[in-house]
Amino acid sequence: MTSIDDVRARFPGLSDGWVRLDGPAGTLPVDTCVDAIADYMRSPAPANLGGEFDASRASDAVVARAREAIAALVGAKADEIVVGPSTTNLMFSFTRALARHWGPGDRIVCSQLDHDSNVSPWLLAARDSGATVEMLEVDPVDGTLDVEPLKGLCADGRTKWVAISGASNLTGHAPDLARAVAIAHEHGARILVDGVARVPHLPTDAAALGVDVLSTSPYKWYGPHAGVLAVRNGLLGQIEPYRVRPADYVGPFRWETGTTQIELLAGITAAAEFMTSTSIADEAARETRLLALLQEGLHEMPGVTVHGPSVTPDRAPTVVFTVRGRSPQEVDRFLASRRIAVWHGDNYACELVDALGLRESGGLVRAGIVRYTSEDDVLALLAALAELGPA
Ligand SMILES: Cc1ncc(COP(=O)(O)O)c(C=O)c1O
């Protein structure tokens, strides 16, 4: 395995010396991603897609390569990969298109574990179509999600879609996806998995899991800001997107309204190749070791409460905590004064923070381990929290 120093040397953004534990909100881009975007922009290639001249063909090749690279990362086929400005943006257009086929009596199941990008688009599309939304509830103590109640929610065959997190962007908890897929499909429902907080850390094979749609955002895995849906099982051709009339392309092009972000796709290829250049399982094991170091350190610290599940290999390496007598914002600010970047609040996992009863007190402080996190980063966070202490 590459040494952590060699990994860190590939991230120009680390040069300012900050301790970057803000990865769940977005990682730094890897050097090859930065270079690929700059190289494309400097080349004669910047040209729109589908032309007969060399520069346009070169752009076509950039897009085709990106679809291949993303597909290899998430276990899909290249022609199942739709790229857009963000996962949230794609979720709104996808659910709006789906909702044309819903009506009163139809049901969508969402979960309290999810980032709001996998809740609000469904709520609004359901509202507009007359369908209803039911929520799968989390355990109010540790925020974990048992998917078994899905059975009851799907039993009458009226559930059209199940929308569920692949891993929480707040607590790192990863529900039993294989079971959720089995229950949904057994009752004729489709399933969309939000893989945004999962794909950067855990092996995620959309085909092997059998999910119908998997989302992922390349800026969470060392790439540029963009969103991706891997839409499987022939669904892309079955759903009619909102699009302009001349855009009669097939496959992903039908869904990519307007000109796609070609230069970013060049960077996405490099980031996806960085992700798959080493074993994701090995990387997950290293991240889990650091997670254990962090979580043990926090557990031992007076006045600090860790929320969420214990350390296991099958979860994302993200930790949330609170400090007695100090608001999450105060803790975040103090850490920033020590040049340590974290996040605080609900981080858009609104239902989960409500279920944990932490809304009134300002949510939680979140720190995430990613590939460039070092043991020194973890120790720096622990030392700063010991310096702050509870109030
Ligand atoms: C779990 C999860 N899902 C979805 C999103 C939304 O992704 P995007 O910013 O690409 O819209 C985020 C963003 O933080 C996230 O953490």
Q: What is the pLDDT of residues 157-169, one digit of tens each?
A: 999 999 999 999 9
CATH of region 33-276: 3.40.640.10
CA 386 to chain centre: 31
- Distance between CA atoms of residues 33 and 66, nearest Å: 12
- Distance between CA atoms of residues 254 and 242, nearest Å: 9
Strand partners, 344: 365
For range 370-375, the mean pLDDT: 98
| pLDDT given at position 244 | 86
Kindly give the interhelix angle for 280-300 and 375-388, rounded to the nearest 10 degrees.
20
Q: Is the CB of 197 under 6 A from ligand 1?
A: yes
Report residue 71's pLDDT band, with 50, 70 and 90 as the boundaries. Answer: very high
- Distance between CA atoms of residues 268 and 143, nearest Å: 32
Domain spans of the chain?
Answer: 4-21+279-388, 33-276
- Distance between CA atoms of residues 129 and 138, nearest Å: 27
Residue 66 vs residue 45, higher pLDDT: 66
Q: What is the pLDDT of residues 84-143, one digit of tens each?
A: 999 999 999 999 999 999 999 999 999 999 999 999 999 999 999 999 999 999 999 999
Residue 104 burial by CB count (10 A; 0-12/13-18/19+): exposed, middle or buried?
Answer: exposed
Does residue 8 carry a pLDDT above 90? yes
For range 68-89, the mean pLDDT: 97
Q: Is the CB of 347 under 6 A from ligand 1?
A: no
Rounded percentage of the chain residues whose pLDDT exceeds 70? 99
The domain 4-21+279-388 is classified under which CATH number: 3.90.190.20, 3.90.1150.10, 3.40.50.2300, 3.40.50.920? 3.90.1150.10
Kindly report the length of the chain.
Answer: 391
Report residue 248's pLDDT band, with 50, 70 and 90 as the boundaries. Answer: low
| pLDDT given at position 254 | 84
Q: Which residues lie below 8 Å from residue 320, measured CB to CB, with a gap of 6+?
A: 170, 171, 306, 307, 308, 364, 365, 366
> How many A from CA of 50 to the centre of ligand 1?
31
| Neighbouring C-beta atoms of residue 312, cutoff 10 Å | 12
- Distance between CA atoms of residues 304 and 324, nearest Å: 6
| pLDDT given at position 310 | 87
> How many A from CA of 42 to the centre of ligand 1?
30
Q: Is the CB of 367 under 6 A from ligand 1?
A: no
- Distance between CA atoms of residues 253 and 259, nearest Å: 10
Specify the residue for token string 């009339």: 245
Pick from 49-53, 109-113, 216-220: least confident: 49-53
Q: Is the CB of 218 under 6 A from ligand 1?
A: no
> How many A from CA of 90 to the centre of ligand 1?
11
The residue whose CB lies within 8 Å of the most ligand 1 atoms, and thus the one to mutate among 88, 95, 204, 353, is 88
Between strands 340-341 and 19-20, the pairing is parallel
Q: Which of 144, 286, 266 has the alpha carbon at shortest distance from 201?
A: 286
| Neighbouring C-beta atoms of residue 276, cutoff 10 Å | 12
The residue whose CB lies within 8 Å of the most ligand 1 atoms, and thus the one to mutate among 115, 119, 122, 199, is 115
Q: Which of 15, 11, 5, 30 has the alpha carbon at shortest distance from 222?
A: 30
> How many A from CA of 194 to the centre of ligand 1?
8
For range 74-92, the mean pLDDT: 97
- Distance between CA atoms of residues 130 and 106, nearest Å: 8
| pLDDT given at position 45 | 83
Q: What is the pTM of this model?
A: 0.97
